[in-house]
Amino acid sequence: MRRVLNYLIGRLLLTVPMIFILLSLVFVVLRVMPGDPVSAMLGGHAPDSVIEKKKLELGLNKPLGAQYVDYLGQLARGDLGKSMIFEEPVWTSISAKLPATLELTFFGLAVCLGLGVPLGVRAARNRRNGHDFGIRLYANVVYCIPVFWLGLMLQMIFGVFLGVFPIAGRTGSRVISSEFDTTGLYVIDTIIHGDIGALGDVLFHLALPALTLGITLSGVFVRLTRANMLDTLKADYVLASRARGISENKVVYGHALKNALIPIVTMLGLQFSALLAGAILTETTFSWPGMGRLLLERIYLRDYPVIQGVIVVYALLVTLVSLAVDLVYAAIDPRVEL
Amino acid sequence: MKRIFTALMVLALALVVSSCGGKGSSGTIVYGTTDKVSDMDTANAYDFHTWEIFQNINKGLLTYTPGTTEVIPGLAESYTVNDKGDEYTFKLRKGLKFTSGKEFNADAVKWTIDRAIALKGDPSWLITDYVREVQVVDPLTVKFVLKGPTAYFPTMVAGCPPYFPLDPSVYPVDKVVKNPSELKGGALVGLGPYKCTSFKRDEEVVLEANPNFYGDKPKIKKVIIRYFADATTMRLALEKGEIDLAFKSMNPSDINDLSKNDKLNTFKMPGPFIRYLTFNCDVSVFKDKRLRQAVSALLDRKEINEKVFLGQNEPLYSMVPQGMIYAQQNFKDEPGDANVAYAEKLLKAAGYSAKKPLAFDLWYTPSHYGDTEVNMAEVVKAEIEKTPLVKVTIKSAEWATYKDQWRNKQMACFFLGWYPDYIDPDNYTAAFAGTNGAIGNGIYFSSKMWDDLFTKEQTVSDPKVREELFAKVQKMWVDEVPTSPIFQGNLYVFTKKNVQGVNIGPTLIFNYDQLHFEKK
Amino acid sequence: MQDKPEARRKSFLSPASGVASLIGKFSRAARKYRIEWWILSVGAVIIAVVAFMTLFPGLFTRFDPNDQNAGPQLGAPSIGHFLGTDNLGRDVGARVVYGSRTILGVAFAASLLSALIGIPLGLISGFAGNWADKALSLVMDSVYSFPGLILAIAFAAMLGPGVINITVAVAVVYVPTYFRLVRGQTLQIKQELYVEAAGAIGARRSTILAKYVFPNVIATVVVVFSLNIADAIMTEAALSYIGLGLPAGVPDWGMDLSMGKKFLPSGVWWMITYPGLMIMILALGFTMLGEGLSEILNPRLQEY
């Protein structure tokens, strides 16, 4: 147990430099940008004195280094600051949108694995015939489809022409989310409140965005699964299982797949960044009120604290997930020692 | 595997069926818009949509008959003006209460105005340019002492939210309120026909009928404003029946399609919002007014309206829009649209030729005015370049940078738009060509003669004299061209067949309390 | 193969003989790896066609992409306009053809820029291996594990619209890719006997880097370069789709996509279908080229 703790602490400590580096990069970039939150807030009519006063208030007149140190000190205390535009605590703005992104990412991942792994297994079982080639073609092509284009195509086909799925937002216009909102994860919230109608509505709104996100990333998992399955299926114990007369299905799904899963878990960790990036584009296309859209809006408004806060949160997410993946990996693979 | 699959299908079916049971109730209207709310504080908000909400949850001492420019008593039952025209005394209605329960009286009026002046917010000039001080004569009488006689002062009291009284016991006197949650009691408080019961920025705002309102209670008890991130989604939501009403801003192609849709009502109104081309008359190449005249003459307003807006707006030939008093069309005849010969004559006289063309940057902002901006820039560039003597480079900057750049005189030629603050031609002229106004809009045009003209029209009250003055100003505009008008907008509201009562007049005030369902 | 492939790769290669051996491998590969060869060729053909489009657009379309009177507004695909016209009356086909310049140019330049920065840094860092290497690796790893698009967005927003600005914004994202790749390889090769031997006989470090390390790294770099361009294409398209790309006046696939989606509910499908398709095809071309090359230059052990 001690070893696990040490390992955890060690890894968590490593996140500090990463966040530090990324934050510094963004911090400098933001303040070098033309435009600033005060101009964004006030109209062109505001007299210079008002603008100067506001800048003083927000600390924007201090030298870059001083502002930087101030912000780091703030962060060290766990305080993300307040929005310069809306005077709302940054964490409030982010925590309002974070669940939306998490929900989308989760379901996107579910689709991704739900498509990728079975297809990969299928390809491995049918190697070198039509199914195999078709699936491999799919895997290669799908990675090159721009996420937002796929989103638009799905919107067009299923949303506009067929009218089956909604094309934007998390809930329908007549569903008032404040009636069930507790965690922000609407699927869970509606179940807790027992509102089946709302649950259906929420799931329908998740359908196209999750599909878009999941499909584009599934290609990687198809190939990975296939390659790993092929390797595993050649192993001695598989041959032995077959010789003993165990059914092919059991061999494939019971024994081989379990072992092939390990690299998939690792790949999950690596692909999480791609998932987050894809989520931003998906959020834009489907008007999904998540962190990606928050980031874009606040960049537009030059709301420095919120932009910085979002970057920090993304960095934290990435590190936490990769940490979790490492732990899971260590847990399921008996060969790995922490 | 098969059983799991079947189970999933059954579940899916169940969800579909249950989600079909709509939550519509006959006393609720869902109103969709792509606009955004800014600050929920009348002292600082200066955008069309937030003002619209204020006009429904707050009220002015005077107000308008819905759909007209007729000023009628509001929170005040009457008012008097002194002979000079610079003192307005209002007699307030008895027994009115804010939604917080606090009594409404003259103190609240004075407190509101003083606060707005002190906070120096974006729209505060609408008060500070005119009001010297507010005096409480007695609990139900309040006197506005103006800086000078202002004939159109009642229009400002009726139409500008900064003048709408706030509750002193709820609003903080020294800071601007961004979100209702910052207020005592956590909700917005006002004297209008509705009160705000829920606020989720960029998602929804819920309004419910205000039982304390002095006037006729609204027929629709609940209005849910849904914020859409883009017009396409909103259009589809309307077509599917998810929302009852859609207003601002839709793509021209959507407006076309929705207008032809039999299942929807189309309300089209002239909207006195204008778009125009602005020149930096101080430090750019456009200091020379001949060049401003030339570029302005190359514009083809009809083509812009056709190509970019599919004919849905009106080409504009004077900064004062049609439908406003004293409006003329001075740009129409001379030089008119796309007058290449006129332009080339001026350009050649200024020393430009095909080998040495006039080169400048044309700026637009990609989203503040809607995403048709980029198309307008592209069309205008093509129009200007019909003559080889001009070379245009299109540049863009987001709104924050855009504002910054016009303050810093960094843009020679750029697009701007204007929604009226109050309904008077002064708001369309002095605001751009008066020295102060021109600075605020990045135009930096200044002329004593013009300023004198504006002072005159602001203080004189004889409509005939004002008409003459404005005719003169509009004529001079074609000569000096500090800005060149492009089009004036039409407003489109689309509703479900059974929703009636959309009555937005030239004041652009959208009274939700006029809405009602009609049984068919 | 009869030759020991390992020994061949690690001999004292000079760039010229390196190229010769590459060509040798190709022809052997063509015979042996039919599928991979096929994939590579298709990829190469796609790239060649698009490259042709950028160089000689006139061969593919007779319209000017900015000509607003080329055809009717929102005209459906027809004989006169194969891919239809957009909302300002411009020919979609022309915009697709000329748009290839922007996207290919930016993606290529950005990848090149990343490589030019990342590779030397990787070489030096891997070779030197002291605290500077550790520090640099930390920085690069941090940037690498972070979602690249977000960084690109931040930089693109800072720099503002413009071709060069976008190139820089996209380039920033991929520097760590080259750094890590090259550094890893450098570390490996550094341990080889012949490198140690060269050092023993007094070869300067720069000579070792240039003569021994670099040529062995090239093969992998070329593959990564190709895949990188595919990625850069997607990133550039994403940036212009969001609106952080180029100003009006330069035809761009991503921007046309975001412009076209407004007209979707009106039944106008051609404005978004074709630019999107092109992005996909071009990215696919580079991916196929890269994957094909990868199989041939560094053949995996028998999969089957």
pLDDT tens sequence across B365-375: 887 887 788 88
Q: Which of B2, B5, B23 best tests the A interface by mutation, with the highest count of A CBs <10 A? A: B23
Residue of A nearest to B408 (CA): A44
Does A40 have pLDDT greater than 90? no
Would you call B362 helix, strand, or coil by DSSP?
strand
- Give B394's contacts in chain C (Cβ within 8 Å): 247-249
Residues in chain C whose beta carbon is closer than 8 A to a beta carbon of chain A?
A: 138-139, 141-143, 145-151, 153-155, 157-158, 160, 230, 234, 237-238, 241-242, 257, 261, 264-265, 269, 272-273, 276, 279-280, 283-284, 287-288, 291, 303-304
Q: Which of A282-296, B380-394, B425-439 has the lowest mean pLDDT?
A: B425-439
pLDDT tens digits along C97-144: 999 988 999 999 999 999 999 988 888 888 777 888 888 888 888 888
Q: What distance in Å separates the CA atoms of residue A86 and residue A88, rounded to the nearest whole number?
A: 5
Does C12 have pLDDT greater than 80? no
Q: Which of B8, B233, B411 best tests the A interface by mutation, with the highest count of A CBs <10 A? A: B233
- Give B396's contacts in chain C (Cβ within 8 Å): 161, 247-248
Does C246 have pLDDT greater than 50? yes
Which of B21, B202, B404 is closest, CB to CB, to A34? B404
C88 — phi, psi (to 5°)?
-105, 10
Does B246 have pLDDT greater than 90? yes
- What's the pLDDT band for C5 if we cut at 50, 70, 90? very low
Q: Which of B34, B235, B264, B307 best tests the C interface by mutation, with the highest count of C CBs <10 A? A: B307
- Residue B374 to residue C259, Cβ atoms within 8 A: yes
pLDDT of res. C18: 63
- Give C268's contacts in chain B (Cβ within 8 Å): 253
Does C3 have pLDDT greater than 60? no
Residue of C nearest to A310 (CA): C150
- Residue B251 to residue C262, Cβ atoms within 8 A: yes
- Residue C88 to residue B397, Cβ atoms within 8 A: no
- Give B231's contacts in chain C (Cβ within 8 Å): 262
- What's the pLDDT band for A47 if we cut at 50, 70, 90? low
Q: B111: how many CB neighbours lie within 10 A of its CB?
A: 20
Residue of A nearest to C275 (CA): A149
Min Cα distance C145 → chain A (Å) is: 7
- Residue B251 to residue C74, Cβ atoms within 8 A: no
Does B12 have pLDDT greater than 70? no
Q: What is the mean pLDDT of chain B?
A: 85
| B237 inside 8 A of chain C by CB | no
Residue with tokens 């004195």: A49
- Residue C73 to residue B379, Cβ atoms within 8 A: no
Min Cα distance B436 → chain A (Å) is: 9
Selected residues 349-368 of chain B with any CB under 8 Å from a CB in chain C: 364, 366-367
- Give A166's contacts in chain C (Cβ within 8 Å): none
Q: Which chains have 3+ CB pairs within 8 A of C?
A: A, B
pLDDT of res. C284: 93
pLDDT of res. C231: 92
In B305-378 the beta strands, taken as DSSP E runs, fall at: 314-315, 358-364
Does B4 have pLDDT greater than 70? no
- Residue B233 to residue A197, Cβ atoms within 8 A: no
Residues in chain C whose beta carbon is closer than 8 A to a beta carbon of chain B?
A: 66, 68, 73-74, 87-89, 160-161, 243, 247-249, 259, 261-266, 268
Average the pLDDT over A223-241 and give the result: 77
Which of A17, A33, A315 is closest, CB to CB, to C146? A315
- Give A311's contacts in chain C (Cβ within 8 Å): 150, 154
- What's the pLDDT band for B407 if we cut at 50, 70, 90? confident
- Give C280's contacts in chain A (Cβ within 8 Å): 141, 144-146, 149
pLDDT of res. C29: 57
Residue of B nearest to C243 (CA): B366
pTM here?
0.82
- Residue C262 to residue B401, Cβ atoms within 8 A: no
Q: Which of A149, A220, A286 best tests the C interface by mutation, with the highest count of C CBs <10 A? A: A149
- Residue C142 to residue A22, Cβ atoms within 8 A: yes
Given the DSSP bridges, would you call strands B413-418 and B358-364 parallel, antiparallel or unpaired? parallel
| A273 inside 8 A of chain B by CB | no
Q: What distance in Å separates the CA atoms of residue B148 and residue A240, rounded to the nearest whole number?
A: 101
Residue of B nearest to C258 (CA): B371
> By the 8 A CB rule, do B91 and B140 touch?
yes
> By the 8 A CB rule, do C154 and A308 touch?
no
- Residue C262 to residue B232, Cβ atoms within 8 A: yes
- Give C88's contacts in chain B (Cβ within 8 Å): 307-308, 375, 378-379
Given the DSSP bridges, would you call strands B264-279 and B413-418 parallel, antiparallel or unpaired? antiparallel
Min Cα distance C140 → chain A (Å) is: 9
pLDDT of res. C239: 92
Does B85 have pLDDT greater than 80? yes
Q: What distance in Å separates the CA atoms of residue A57 and residue A84, rounded to the nearest whole number?
A: 10
Q: Which chains have 3+ CB pairs within 8 A of A?
A: B, C
Average the pLDDT over B81-92 and give the result: 89
Min Cα distance B62 → chain A (Å) is: 26
> By the 8 A CB rule, do B462 and B280 touch?
no
Q: What distance in Å separates the CA atoms of residue B470 and residue B327, rounded to the nearest whole number?
A: 8
pLDDT of res. C108: 93
pLDDT of res. A324: 84
- Residue A277 to residue C151, Cβ atoms within 8 A: no
- Give C142's contacts in chain A (Cβ within 8 Å): 17-18, 21-22
- Residue A39 to residue B407, Cβ atoms within 8 A: yes
pLDDT of res. C14: 59
Highest mean pLDDT pick, B93-107, B271-285, C101-115, C254-268: C101-115
pLDDT tens digits along A71-100: 888 887 878 888 877 777 888 889 889 999
Name the DSSP letter for residue B507: T
Average the pLDDT over B143-170 and give the result: 89
- Residue C150 to residue A276, Cβ atoms within 8 A: yes
- 3-class secondary structure for chain C? CCCCHHHHHCCCCCHHHHHHHHHHHHHHHHHHCHHHHHHHHHHHHHHHHHHHHHHCHHHCCCCCCCCCCCCCCCCCCCCCCCCCECCCCCEHHHHHHHHHHHHHHHHHHHHHHHHHHHHHHHHHHHHHCCHHHHHHHHHHHHHHHCCHHHHHHHHHHHHCCCHHHHHHHHHHHHHHHHHHHHHHHHHHHHCCHHHHHHHHCCCCHHHHHHHHHHHHHHHHHHHHHHHHHHHHHHHHHHHHHHCCCCCCCCCCHHHHHHHHHHHHHHCCCHHHHHHHHHHHHHHHHHHHHHHHHHHHHCCCCCCC
- Give C265's contacts in chain B (Cβ within 8 Å): 232, 235-236, 239, 254, 257
- Give A127's contacts in chain C (Cβ within 8 Å): 304
Min Cα distance A4 → chain B (Å) is: 38
Cα B252 to the center of its chain, rounded Å: 19
Torsion sign, CA atoms B464, B470, B474, B479: positive
Average the pLDDT over B373-396 and give the result: 90
pLDDT of res. B40: 86
Which of B254, B393, B396 is closest, CB to CB, to C265? B254
pLDDT tens digits along A14-38: 777 777 888 888 788 777 766 677 7
Does C199 have pLDDT greater than 70? yes
pLDDT of res. B68: 83
| A60 inside 8 A of chain B by CB | no
